[in-house]
Amino acid sequence: MAQAPDITAKSWVMVVLLGLIWGGAFLTIELALPGITPFWLAAARISIGTALTVAAWLGVGVWQGRRARLFTNPAGAADWANTVFIALLSSAAPFMLLSWGQQYVTSGFAGVSMASVALIVLPMAHFLIPGERMTWRRGAGFVIGFAGVVLLIGDQVFASSGAALEFPGRLACLVAAGCYAVSSIQVRRLPAVDPLGLSAVLLAIGAVCVIPVAWIVEGPPPSIDAKTALAVGYLGLVPTAAAGLLRIVLARTAGPVFLSLVNYQVPMWSVLLGALILGEALPPSLIWAMMLILAGVGLSQFGALNRLFSKG
pLDDT in tens, 123-166: 888 787 877 777 888 888 888 888 888 887 777 766 777 888 88
Interhelix angle 226-235/9-32, nearest 10 degrees: 160
Number of helices (H), then strands (E), belonging to the chain: the values are 14, 0
Rounded to the nearest 5 percent, the helix, strand and coil shares of the chain are 80, 0, 20
Range from 2-11, 54-63, 173-182 carrying the lowest mean pLDDT? 2-11
The letter for the amino acid at 239 is P
Q: Is the pLDDT of residue 1 over 50?
A: no
Share of the chain above pLDDT 90, in %: 35
Name 182's Cβ contacts closer than 8 Å, sequence gap at least 6: 89, 124
pLDDT at position 310 is 64
Nearest of 170, 174, 233 to residue 25 by alpha carbon: 233
Name 44's Cβ contacts closer than 8 Å, sequence gap at least 6: 36, 221, 232, 235, 236
Q: Give me the mean pLDDT over the 221-250 stretch.
A: 93
CA distance 93 to 209: 9
Q: What is the pLDDT of residues 183-212, one digit of tens each?
A: 999 998 888 889 999 999 999 999 999 999
Other beta carbons within 10 angstroms of residue 55's beta carbon come to 12
Other beta carbons within 10 angstroms of residue 157's beta carbon come to 15
Name 116's Cβ contacts closer than 8 Å, sequence gap at least 6: 146, 174, 177, 263
Other beta carbons within 10 angstroms of residue 162's beta carbon come to 8
Q: What is the pLDDT of residues 268-312, one digit of tens each?
A: 887 788 778 777 777 777 788 888 888 888 787 766 566 656 655
pLDDT at position 307 is 63
| Coil/strand/helix, residue 312 | coil
Q: What is the pLDDT of residues 80-135, one digit of tens each?
A: 999 999 999 998 898 888 888 888 887 667 777 888 888 888 888 878 787 777 78
Q: Is residue 67 part of a domain?
A: yes
Count of domains forming the chain? 1
Q: Is the pLDDT of residue 41 over 60?
A: yes
Q: Is residue 305 part of a domain?
A: yes
Q: Is residue 182 part of a domain?
A: yes
Q: Enter the DSSP assignment of 131.
A: T
The letter for the amino acid at 290 is M
Nearest of 210, 192, 179, 241 to residue 48 by alpha carbon: 241
pLDDT band at 3 (very low <50, low <70, confident <90, very high): low
pLDDT band at 4 (very low <50, low <70, confident <90, very high): low
Q: Is residue 2 part of a domain?
A: no
Q: Is residue 151 part of a domain?
A: yes
Q: Is residue 189 part of a domain?
A: yes
pLDDT at position 124 is 85
CA distance 139 to 289: 18
Q: Is residue 4 part of a domain?
A: no
| Coil/strand/helix, residue 110 | helix
Q: What is the pLDDT of residues 171-189, one digit of tens each?
A: 998 899 999 999 999 998 8
Name 156's Cβ contacts closer than 8 Å, sequence gap at least 6: 106, 107, 108, 109
Q: Is residue 167 part of a domain?
A: yes
Is 110:101 a contact under the CB 8 Å cutoff? yes
Nearest of 115, 117, 152, 121 to residue 264 by alpha carbon: 115
Question: What domain range is 32 assigned to?
Answer: 9-311
